[in-house]
């Protein structure tokens, strides 16, 4: 049902409208193009506690119901690898005649007690032992480049929280790697909102005005990708600059366009209107921004 | 019973299956096939059937129900958000049409061959060593020779 609606709407978007001479009376000066510039997440989302526990529960169930590991397929009988593997495993206690097993008589097939999950212990590799010996012997020594180029080096995982998280530097792009960050700009009256730019004439498209405006306040060294030339939403302002409902006639109409920042830095240029900027997630935007503005814009922002 | 008596086969001949250990050696190709088949079959590898007591079963039911409710809730909220976004988009386009048909046409221009940029990064479980590329410089457009 939803998809059909989407296609019918798409068709209605695509139909060209003939520019008639007797158009509506709103002049171009009261139209703004705002840009919702987002930094997509760099890292997978944080899994909530209940989901983590559920995944753990399901993993345990799967382990309990898993077939016995076919070591005869992976390790050929008589090889050194097979001997080392078998040596590393803990053989379960087999059933004996006359012995009382209060927790149940063992049922062992292929070296696995069928009542429980199988735990496989990986034997320590020779190379790992050699590497540890080598590192102890040489000391600090070699430059970091050769360490990084070493293909057999152990996998070292980077931290998901960065310095920017620790300092809570809201102008940094490296903060909150698992969330989507949006560019917010402080207006002269002290309120925070998405950067918006006035349209001069009919000739330049909304998305182009928005992109050019972004570069005028943030410098040219930003690599962005505009999601679409079609506006994602609209905010109407009254005479005094307050946000006005969608049904009423406002004096200023602001069209919001979505874009992603891929590389580069937003360096605040000398400007009359914009003195501060922030990269904030949806929850932080909800706190910073006016409630009426968030009502109009909130659904366009990603929850993750 | 007696050796001189003729043993007559009954009308329905029953075949008795006897399983015994392999005495003769088999070729490596056949051995390979046998190991592969044994890995694919459940024989002697399947653990015991998991039997839950009543209390444990109730717990399992509660967990499963909670999970399905969570998933349904997430699906519903995602669909509601998408619908809201679509409504917002169509309303914005209607407003733009009222204001300026030229801008409306420019906004709805077909972007043929538009794809996600190659530079955009897919989220991974852990970040890279250099988290963000700050040194971007826009390409200089070459002046065409006349």
| Mean pLDDT along residues A162-173 | 94
Output DSSP code: residue B131: -
pLDDT one-digit tens code per residue, A226-254:
999 999 999 999 887 787 877 777 889 99
> Are A195 and A213 a contacting pair, CB within 8 Å?
yes
**Greatest alpha-carbon span in chain A:** 104
Contacts of B63 (CB under 8 A, 6+ apart): A54, A57
pLDDT one-digit tens code per residue, A255-301:
999 999 999 999 999 988 899 999 999 999 999 999 999 999 999 99
Q: Give the pLDDT confidence score for residue B139 in this predicted structure.
A: 94
From the list B66, B90, B131, the residue facing A9 with the nearest CB is: B90
Q: Give the pLDDT confidence score for residue A20 in this predicted structure.
A: 47
Task: Name the H helices within A100-186.
Answer: 126-138, 144-149, 163-167
**Predicted confidence (pLDDT) at residue A12 exceeds the cutoff of 50:** no
Other Cβ atoms within 10 Å of A113 Cβ, number: 20
**Segments making up each domain of chain A, as ranges:** 2-43+162-300, 49-151
Angle at which helix B54-99 crosses helix A49-65, to 10 degrees, equals 130
Q: Nearest chain A Cα to B134, which residue?
A: A264
> Are A6 and B86 a contacting pair, CB within 8 Å?
yes
**Predicted confidence (pLDDT) at residue A139 exceeds the cutoff of 60:** no
**Phi then psi for A277, rounded to 5 degrees?**
-140, 160
Q: Which residues of A touch B96 (CB under 8 A)?
A: 206, 231, 234, 255
Q: Under an 8 A CB cutoff, do B101 and A17 touch?
A: yes
pLDDT one-digit tens code per residue, A195-213:
999 999 889 999 999 999 9
What's the Rg (C-alpha) of chain A? 31
How far from B9 is each of B1, B2, B18, B30, B33, CA to CA, in Å?
Answer: 14, 15, 20, 36, 38
Cα–Cα distance, B40 to B49 (Å, whole number): 19
Determine the length of chain A.
Answer: 304
Q: Under an 8 A CB cutoff, do A110 and B98 touch?
A: no
Q: Which residues of B touch A13 (CB under 8 A)?
A: 90, 93, 108
Q: Which residues of A touch B47 (CB under 8 A)?
A: 64-68, 112, 114-118
Contacts of A227 (CB under 8 A, 6+ apart): A257, A258, A259, A260
Q: Give the pLDDT confidence score for residue A125 in this predicted structure.
A: 77
**For residue A22, what pLDDT band results from cuts at 50, 70 and 90?**
very low
Angle at which helix B54-99 crosses helix A2-14, to 10 degrees, equals 20
Q: Give the pLDDT confidence score for residue A21 in this predicted structure.
A: 44
**A39-43, A66-70, A91-95, A150-154: least confidently modelled range:** A150-154
**Predicted confidence (pLDDT) at residue B145 exceeds the cutoff of 90:** no
Contacts of A99 (CB under 8 A, 6+ apart): none
Q: Which residues of A touch B133 (CB under 8 A)?
A: 263-264
* pLDDT, mean over chain A: 88
Q: Which residues of B touch A34 (CB under 8 A)?
A: none
Q: Give the pLDDT confidence score for residue A13 in this predicted structure.
A: 47
From the list A158, A203, A263, the residue facing B119 with the nearest CB is: A263
CATH of A2-43+162-300, one of 3.40.605.10, 2.40.160.40, 3.40.720.10, 3.90.79.10: 3.90.79.10
* pLDDT, mean over chain B: 91
Q: Give the pLDDT confidence score for residue A133 in this predicted structure.
A: 59
- Among residues A43, A177, A303, the alpha carbon closest in space to that of B123 is found at A43
pLDDT one-digit tens code per residue, B104-116:
999 999 999 999 9
Task: State the smallest CA–CA distance between residue A125 and chain B in angstroms.
Answer: 25
Determine the length of chain B.
Answer: 146
Intra-chain end-to-end CA distance of chain A, in Å: 26
- Among residues B117, B94, B88, the alpha carbon closest in space to that of B107 is found at B94
pLDDT one-digit tens code per residue, B11-50:
677 788 888 888 999 999 999 999 999 999 998 999 999 9
Q: Quote the pTM value.
A: 0.82
Intra-chain end-to-end CA distance of chain B, in Å: 115
Task: State the smallest CA–CA distance between residue A29 and chain B in angstroms.
Answer: 11
> How many contacts, defined by CB atoms under 8 Å, are there between A and B?
199
In a 3-state reduction of DSSP, which class is residue A22?
coil
Task: State the smallest CA–CA distance between residue A182 and chain B in angstroms.
Answer: 16
- Among residues A150, A180, A33, A272, the alpha carbon closest in space to that of B100 is found at A33
Contacts of A130 (CB under 8 A, 6+ apart): none
**For residue A136, what pLDDT band results from cuts at 50, 70 and 90?**
low
| Mean pLDDT along residues A2-24 | 49
pLDDT one-digit tens code per residue, B64-97:
999 999 999 999 999 999 999 999 999 999 999 9
> Are A302 and A234 a contacting pair, CB within 8 Å?
no
pLDDT one-digit tens code per residue, A89-118:
999 999 999 999 999 999 999 999 999 999
Q: Give the pLDDT confidence score for residue B3 in this predicted structure.
A: 56
3-class SS letters over B42-111: CCCCCCCCCCCCHHHHHHHHHHHHHHHHHHHHHHHHHHHHHHHHHHHHHHHHHHHHHHCHHHHHHHCCCC
Cα–Cα distance, A281 to A175 (Å, whole number): 10
Place of tokens 């086969």: B9
**Predicted confidence (pLDDT) at residue A147 exceeds the cutoff of 80:** no
Q: Which residues of B touch A255 (CB under 8 A)?
A: 92, 95-96
Q: Give the pLDDT confidence score for residue A302 in this predicted structure.
A: 96
Output DSSP code: residue B141: P
Q: Under an 8 A CB cutoff, do B96 and A303 touch?
A: no
Q: Give the pLDDT confidence score for residue B15 in this predicted structure.
A: 81
Q: Give the pLDDT confidence score for residue A14 in this predicted structure.
A: 45
Q: How far is C-alpha B26 from the geometric centre of its chain's CA atoms?
A: 40
Q: Nearest chain B Cα to A172, which residue?
A: B132
């Amino acid at each position: 049902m939803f998809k059909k609606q989407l296609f019918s709407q798409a068709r209605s978007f695509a139909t060209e409208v003939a520019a008639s001479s007797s158009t509506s009376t709103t002049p171009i000066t009261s139209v703004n193009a705002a840009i919702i510039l987002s930094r997509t997440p760099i890292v997978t989302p944080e899994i909530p506690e209940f989901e983590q526990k559920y995944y753990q529960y399901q993993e345990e169930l799967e382990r309990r119901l898993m077939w016995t590991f076919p070591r005869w397929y992976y390790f050929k009988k008589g090889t050194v690898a097979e001997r080392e593997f078998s040596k590393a495993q803990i053989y379960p206690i087999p059933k004996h005649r006359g012995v009382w097993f209060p927790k149940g008589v063992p049922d062992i097939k292929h070296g696995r007690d069928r009542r429980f999950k199988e735990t496989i212990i990986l034997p320590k590799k020779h190379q790992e032992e050699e590497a540890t010996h080598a590192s102890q012997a040489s000391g600090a020594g070699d430059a970091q480049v050769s360490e990084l180029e070493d293909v057999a080096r152990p996998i070292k995982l980077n931290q998901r929280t960065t310095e920017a998280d620790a300092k809570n530097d809201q102008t940094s792009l490296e903060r909150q790697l698992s969330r989507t960050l949006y560019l917010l700009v402080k207006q002269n009256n002290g309120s925070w909102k998405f950067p918006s730019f006035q349209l001069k004439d009919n000739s330049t498209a909304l998305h182009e005005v928005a992109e050019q405006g972004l570069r005028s306040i943030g410098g040219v060294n930003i690599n962005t990708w505009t999601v679409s030339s079609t506006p994602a939403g609209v905010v109407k302002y009254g005479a005094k600059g307050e946000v006005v409902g969608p049904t009423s006639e406002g004096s200023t109409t602001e069209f919001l366009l979505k874009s992603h920042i891929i590389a580069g830095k937003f360096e605040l240029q000398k400007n009359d209107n914009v003195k501060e900027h922030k990269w904030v997630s949806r929850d932080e935007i909800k706190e910073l921004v006016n409630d009426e503005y968030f009502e109009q814009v909130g659904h366009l922002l990603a929850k993750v | 019973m007696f050796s001189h008596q003729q043993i007559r086969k009954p009308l329905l001949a029953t075949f008795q299956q006897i399983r015994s250990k392999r005495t003769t050696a088999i070729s490596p190709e056949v051995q390979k096939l046998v190991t592969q088949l044994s890995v694919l079959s459940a024989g002697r590898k399947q653990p015991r059937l998991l039997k839950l007591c009543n209390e444990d079963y109730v717990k399992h039911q509660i967990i499963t129900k909670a999970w399905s409710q969570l998933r349904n809730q997430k699906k519903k909220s995602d669909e509601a958000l998408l619908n809201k976004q679509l409504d917002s988009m169509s309303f914005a386009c209607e407003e733009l049409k009222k204001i300026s048909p030229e801008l409306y046409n420019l906004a709805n221009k077909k972007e043929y061959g538009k794809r996600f940029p190659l530079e955009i990064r897919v989220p991974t479980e852990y970040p890279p060593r250099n988290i963000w590329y700050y040194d971007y410089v826009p390409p200089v457009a070459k002046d065409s020779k006349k």
